[in-house]
Amino acid sequence: MSRQALVLFSGGQDSTTCLAWALDRCEHVETVGFDYGQRHRIELDCRGQVRDRLAREFPAWAERLGPDHLLPIEVLGRISDTALTSDAEIALRADGLPNTFVPGRNLLFLTLAAALAYRRGITVVVGGMCETDYSGYPDCRDSTMKAMQLALTLGTDRPFEVATPLMWLDKAATWELAHRLGGDALVEIVREDTHTCYRGERGQMHAWGHGCGACPACELRANGYAKWSATGRA
Task: Report the alpha-carbon distance of residue 66 to residue 23 in Å, rounded.
Answer: 10
> Pairing state of beta strands 28-35 and 4-8?
parallel
- Model pLDDT, residue 230: 94
pLDDT of 89 over the 80 cut: no
Give residue-wise pLDDT tens across range 18-63.
999 999 999 999 999 998 877 667 888 999 999 999 999 999 999 9
CATH number (3.40.50.620, 3.30.2350.10, 3.20.20.10, 2.40.50.100) of 4-229 reads: 3.40.50.620
Give residue-wise pLDDT tens across range 93-136.
555 555 556 677 899 899 999 999 999 999 999 999 998 876 67
**Contact criterion met (CB below 8 Å) for 62 and 27:** no
Residue 7 phi/psi, 5° resolution? Answer: -105, 130
Quickly list H helices, 157-195.
171-193
Domain ranges of the chain: 4-229
**Contact criterion met (CB below 8 Å) for 189 and 53:** yes
Task: Report the alpha-carbon distance of residue 30 to residue 9 in Å, rounded.
Answer: 9
The neighbour count for residue 4, using CB atoms within 10 Å, is: 19
Q: Which of 94-98, 202-206, 223-227 has the lowest mean pLDDT?
A: 94-98
